[in-house]
Structure formats: C-alpha cells, structure tokens
Structure 1
Amino acid sequence: MRRYDTFEAVNHDLKLLKIQSQIDTEELKLCLNETKESLSPGNLVTGLLGGFATSAVIFKLLNPLIGFGISRLIKKFTK
C-alpha cells in the first residue's frame, strides 16, 4: 500500500484512477456493441451460409477421392 505525504499526491492518483475507470467503461461499452453486432441476425445468417459454403467446397474437393476409395473397396470385395 502506498503512503501519501501530500494531498496533491492523493488527488493525482484519484484523478488517474477516475480516468482509468472511464477508459475501462468505454472499452466495456465497445466490447458490448461488438458482441451485439456479431450476434445480429444478418451476421448469424452470413456466418451460417459461409459455413455451408465452406462445407460444400470441401465436399466437392473430397467427393472424387471418396468415390475412388469406395470403388476400389467394391472391386476388392467382388473379386
């Protein structure tokens, strides 16, 4: 704990703490607004569609490989 020798030092630290508290409050407001924005229906739909689009691209890329693997298994077991 800090010891203060003058009221000026106490007032200085109180001003700094008040400013830091205001900064923290504004940062909290900003984070809250960013969270609200990211959870908006438009952003949720965009994220969901983006996920489906990514899944579709991956499926299109892997589909020939899966088909090749299945056809080899069928040939192996039918001989």
Structure 2
Amino acid sequence: MIQSQYTSFEDIDRDLKVLKLQREIDEEKVKLAIQQTKAELYPTNILGGIAPLLQKIAISLIAKKLLKKFD
C-alpha cells in the first residue's frame, strides 16, 4: 500500500474504515473457499465424479466379453 501524508484524523479514519472493509471481504472469501472445498471433498461428490469413469470401464468389459462369445 502506498503511504500517504494525512492532513486530518478524518483522512486516517476513512482509510482505516476502507482497510477494515477490505479485510472483512477477504475473510468472507476465505470462508467461502473453505465451504466450497469441503463440498467438493464430500464422499458423494467424489464418487459422483468417479461414476462415469466406472460406467465406461464396465461397458468396455461387457463389450469385450460379448465379442469373445461371438468369436
């Protein structure tokens, strides 16, 4: 942050209020990021991401078995 010369206590108070609000915004952003990370790491969400992969593997295995029967 660039240092400035203050001519009054009102200027100092204004900057302090701005800094306080910026800090509160940053704290809320961190809280939101933590909540999103927790939600992403929830077991059902992890399994939900794996399900399509497992489905593709199962389909390919079934297709291979069917092709072997017809050979």
TM-score normalised by structure 1 residue count: 0.65
Q: Which runs of 5+ in 1 are unaligned?
A: 64-79
Counterpart of 2:4? 2
Percentage of matched positions with identical amino acids: 34
How do residues 54-73 of structure 1 correspond to structure 2 at under 5 angstroms?
A: 56=56
**How far 1:50 moved relative to its partner?**
2.4
**d(CA) in 2 for partners of 1:44, 1:11:** 48
Counterpart of 1:75? none
Match of 2:28 among 26, 29, 36: 26
TM-score normalised by structure 2 residue count: 0.72
User: Per chain length, whose mean CA-contact separation is higher, i.e. which structure has more relative contact order (CA < 8 Å, sep 6+)?
Assistant: 2
**d(CA) in 1 for partners of 2:27, 2:12:** 22
**d(CA) in 2 for partners of 1:37, 1:20:** 26
**How far 1:28 moved relative to its partner?**
0.5
Taking only aligned residues, the RMSD between alpha carbons, in angstroms, comes to 1.9
Number of equivalences: 58
